[in-house]
Structure 1
Amino acid sequence: MTRDQSTIWLVALCLGLSLLVASAHAEENVFRPEAGKFPPLDKAHAYRGELVFVDHANRRGSIRVEGMGVFRMNDPHPFAMLPYGMVRYHGAPADLRDIPLGTMLHVRAFLPPDPKTSAVPVLPINNKDKDANHRRGIGIFPAENHVLLLEDEPSHCLREGHVWKLKELEIKNHEGTLIASRESKNGTEGKTSEETLSFDAATRVWRGRKCLRIEHLIADGIWPTEGKKALGGQSVQLGITWKPTLGGVFTRFHISDIWLDDAAMQNAAMQQTELHKAFIRGRWMPAWIDAVEYGKFGRAAVTATLFGGMDASLYAEFSKGTAALMNGVENTLKHTEGGTAGPTQMAARGKLLDVTQLPGNAPLGSSGIQIRFETDLITEGMRPTRIVKVRPNSWPDVHLPREEYLGNGASNIDERFPTPAIFPNY
C-alpha cells in the first residue's frame, strides 16, 4: 500500500468513525417514550395527512402525509398507535375502524419506543428533514410514526378552540369551492391564511339534528344555484377529506361535512361517543401495571393506571368493591390470553380495592385514574409496565373475532405481524 493509499484509507476510517460517533450522539439526544411513562405532548412531532389504509385489529395504518409538493404523489406512510394512543372522531372517542378512508387527520407522534418490536418500519431519526424529491418535498416520511393523538378536523378544532370561517362560495351544478380560514373561536389569534376547499352534491350539511344536502341550501335560498356569494365569515365546523382534483391543482382538500351550529356538532359527538362506549365495554378498558404486591399461592394486589380518552361514564363504572376481571394484552391491545372461549376464561378475577383520582392534570394518554385490583390467581401478563385490559363484571362477556386476540400467549411473531398466509386459499 502506497503512502497516498494509506492516507486515503486513514481519512476514510476517521470519517466513518466520526459519523458513527455523531449518529450515536444524535440517538442519545432524541426522545423516545418509555414504558410506564406517558410522554409529554410538547415533545411530539405534529403533521397532517389522509388516512389511506387501516389495520384496525393491530391499531396501525397508513397516512398520506401533507408536504410542500404534489399531495397525490406522496406514498402512504405507515403509523402505529401507542398502547395509550388516543383516536378522536367528530369530537368524541373513537377506534381506527370508525374513521372513513380519505379523512384528513392531525397527528401527534413519537419515534418507536422500542425499535426492535415496532409494528411498522423503523426509519432514520432525521427522516422528517429529508427531501423526498422536488415534486413531493420535505417531511412526508417522518420517523415519528408511533401515535399519541390521532384526530379528525372537527376534533382538532374543538380541542384547540378553533372554527372555520366561510368567506366566499362559488357553485355550479351543486358543486364548487369555498374560501375559508381556520381561526380562533374567540378571535384572539392574528391574521390567518385563507384556503380554497371543494364541495359537491355528496357533502353533508348538518343543522341541529337534521342532515341536509347542498340542494336543500339552494332550495331554501341560502346558497345560489350558480355563481359566487360572500358568506361574511360564517362560523362552522368542517369535516375534511381528500380526493383527486381537476385542473392540475397540486393540493386541494375536500369538504365531507359542514356543521352549521353547536347543536349539530354536539349531536355528531354524542353518536360517536355511544358507538365507542359499546366498543370499549365489549373489548375492555386498557391500562398499564404500575406495581404488583405478591402474596401467597398466586394471590396479588395489582396497581394499574387506566388509559385516557374514554367517555367519563365508562370510568364511573370503576368503583371500590366492584368485582372485575383483568387480562394481559399486547401493545396493539390484543388480548394475549383468551383463545376461542374469549378473554374471560383466562383472565384474573377479583375485586377493586381502591379507585383513586391522581393529583394534578393527567397527561394525554392517561385517565388520571388509578385502580388497585386484588386477585387470588395472578397471570403471567400482569407485571409492572405491562399492558392489561380490565372490565367490571357488569360489562358484557362477549367472544372476540379471531383477528382481535393472540393464541397461545402470542408466542408466534407471525400472529403479531400477520404474513400473507392469513388469507385463506379458496
Structure 2
Amino acid sequence: MKNEDSFLNLLPQIFYQLCLGLSLLTTAATAADEPFRPEAGKFPPLEKAHAYRGELVFVDHANRRGSIRVQGSGMFFRNDPHPFALLPYAIVRYHGAPADLRDIPLGTVMHVRAFLPPDPKTSSVPVLPVDNKKIDANHNRGTGIAPAENHVLLLEDEPSHCQREGMVWKLKEVDLKNNEGMIIATLEPKQGGDGKASEEKLTFDAATRIWRGRESLSIEELIAEGAWPAAGKKSLGNQPVLLGITWKPTPDGIFTRFHISDIWLDDISMQRAAKNQTETHKAFIRSRWMAAWIDNVEYGKFGRATVTATLFGGMDDSLYADFKKDVPALMNAVENTLKHTHGAYGPAHMASKGPIVDVTKAPGATPLGSSGIQIRFDTDLIIEGIRPGRVVRVRPTSWPQVQVPREEYLNDNLEERFPTPAIFPKY
C-alpha cells in the first residue's frame, strides 16, 4: 500500500516531465521550420535552410539567378516558375562536380537549400512573406511551391544530391515499347536500408543517355545486349545506379511523373562525368576569378593596406592550390551577384595589385559556402570597394587575364544590377 501511495504521489511529476518533453520536441520541430535570414559576414548553417526541389525553367546566369518550378502537393504542371537567387557563396553542383548556372540544362530537376534574403532591399528576386511556403496556391497546385526562402546556399542535381546524401537508385523493372517506356525504381541508402523505400515510376525514351565505364550507350544497344527487352517488361533485379532526372509533360492525367535523362551504371562512368564538369568549371573560375569576402583591412599610409579575405568554397582543390605565399595577385570589388564593379576595361583595369603574404587553413570542418582558406594580401593602392564585409574576386597572376563580357560587369553603376529594356541597343 505504501508503494502504491508513493507512486500516486509521483504521478503529477511524471505527467509534468512528459508534457515538458513533448513541449521541447514541438519547440525543436518548430525551430527547424523557422525561416532563417543569413547575416553579413557569416556563413549560414545548412541545417537551418529550407529544402525543396523542382525543375529548372529559367536561368539569368550573368546575375546568378533563375526560376524553378517547385514540386508541391498539387499538379506540377500548374506551378508557376519560382524565382531564386544564388547567395554570393552559394555552391552549385552538377554531375557530382562544381558548376555555374550556365552549365545546367533547362528542365533538370534540382535540389535546393535556401534562406530568406539577407537584405530584402537589395534582393534580385521578389521578396515574399516569410510564411509563404505554408500558403495554399489553389488551382490544384497545393502548398510549398513559392517559399520565401529563395536565396540559395546549395543547388544540386540528382546525382550530386544522391552522392552527398549517400543514396542510390535501385532499378526494379523496365517496361519498354518502341525504345521508350517506364522504369520502376526506389531511392535507398547506398549502404542498405530498412527495405521500406517507396517505389517510383519514371519515364525514359530514345534520347535517354546510358553511361557504362567509358561507353555511351543507347536503348537499342541495351536491347541488342539482352540487358533490356525489345518490348514488354523485365525485372532489373534492384540494379544500383545514379540517375539524371528531368520533367516532361506527360499524358494520361499524370502530372508529377519525372523523366530519366541519364543513367550511370557504374562508378567509373559517374567519375568521368564529374571530371568533365570539373574541368569546365575550373576554366570558368580562372577566367572570372575566385570569389571571397573581406574579413579585415589594415590601412597604411598613401593607399597601402593589408587585406584579409576568406575564399568561398565548393571549388576544385587545384584552384585553391594556386593561392600561395608570395604569389602576386589582383583583387577587385564585386556586387553580390559577383559582377565586377570597378573598371570599364575588364576586372583588372582598376584592381588592387600586390603579393599574397600569408595563406592559412582553418582547422576542422568548415561551414558550407566557405573554403576555410584565408589569405592576407598586401597592396599599395587599395580601391574603395575593398572593405570588411564586402565581396571581392581574386586572381593569382598565373591565371589568364581575359576581358569578361559586358553583361558580367557593372562599370561602377549599381543601378545596372537588374537589367531593364534599356540594356538593348536602339537601332
TM-score, length of structure 2 as denominator length = 0.91
Distance 1:230 1:41 in 2: 39
Alignment of 1:363 with 2:364, yes or no, is no
Which residue pairs with 2:130 in the alignment? 125
Contact 2:35 2:115 in 1 (8 A): no
Q: Show CA shifts across 1:230-258 (max 9, x none).
A: 11100000000001001111210000000
Distance 2:136 2:66 in 1: 23
Q: Percent identity?
A: 74
Contact 2:35 2:50 in 1 (8 A): no
Distance 1:188 1:226 in 2: 32
Aligned partner (choices 250, 254, 265) of residue 260 of structure 1? 265
Query: What displacement does 1:165 show?
Result: 0.3
* Matched pairs, number: 395
Change in CA separation of 1:190 and 1:362 when aligned onto 2, cut-off 3 Å: farther
Which residue pairs with 1:387 in the alignment? 391
Q: Which segments of structure 1 move beyond 2 Å, counting only runs of 4 or more?
A: 423-426
Query: What displacement does 1:400 show?
Result: 0.5
Query: What displacement does 1:423 show?
Result: 2.5
Which residue pairs with 1:404 in the alignment? 408
Q: Residues 53-72 of structure 1 correspond to what in structure 2 (within 5 A)?
A: 53-72=58-77
Aligned partner (choices 212, 224, 244) of residue 229 of structure 2? 224
Deviates more, 1:241-250 or 1:264-273: 241-250
Q: Show CA shifts across 1:375-415 (max 9, x none).
A: 000011100010000010000000010000011x124x2x1
Task: Give, as a single letter, the amino acid of the residue that structure 1 aligns with 2:321.
Answer: A
Query: What displacement does 1:191 show?
Result: 1.4
Which residue pairs with 2:425 in the alignment? 424
Distance 2:317 2:87 in 1: 21
Alignment of 1:238 with 2:235, yes or no, is no
Query: What displacement does 1:190 show?
Result: 5.0
Which residue pairs with 1:274 in the alignment? 279
Aligned partner (choices 153, 161, 166) of residue 161 of structure 1? 166
Which residue pairs with 1:100 in the alignment? 105
Task: Give, as a single letter, the amino acid of the residue that structure 2 aligns with 1:392.
Answer: P
* Alignment root-mean-square deviation, CA: 1.1
Query: What displacement does 1:112 show?
Result: 0.3
Aligned partner (choices 353, 358, 370) of residue 354 of structure 1? 358
Q: Residues 116-195 of structure 1 correspond to what in structure 2 (within 5 A)?
A: 116-133=121-138, 135-188=140-193, 191-195=196-200
Task: Give, as a single letter, the amino acid of the residue that structure 1 aligns with 2:393.
Answer: K
Task: Give, as a single letter, the amino acid of the residue that structure 1 aligns with 2:359.
Answer: V
Distance 1:360 1:189 in 2: 32
Aligned partner (choices 281, 289, 296) of residue 284 of structure 1? 289
* Runs of 5+ unmatched residues, structure 2: 1-30
Query: What displacement does 1:189 show?
Result: 5.0
Query: What displacement does 1:30 show?
Result: 4.5
User: Secondary structure of 1:263's match?
Assistant: helix
Query: What displacement does 1:188 show?
Result: 3.8
User: Secondary structure of 1:282's match?
Assistant: helix
TM-score, length of structure 1 as denominator length = 0.91
Query: What displacement does 1:421 show?
Result: 2.0
Deviates more, 1:116-125 or 1:415-424: 415-424
* Runs of 5+ unmatched residues, structure 1: 1-25
Which residue pairs with 2:24 in the alignment? none
Q: Residues 314-333 of structure 1 correspond to what in structure 2 (within 5 A)?
A: 314-333=319-338
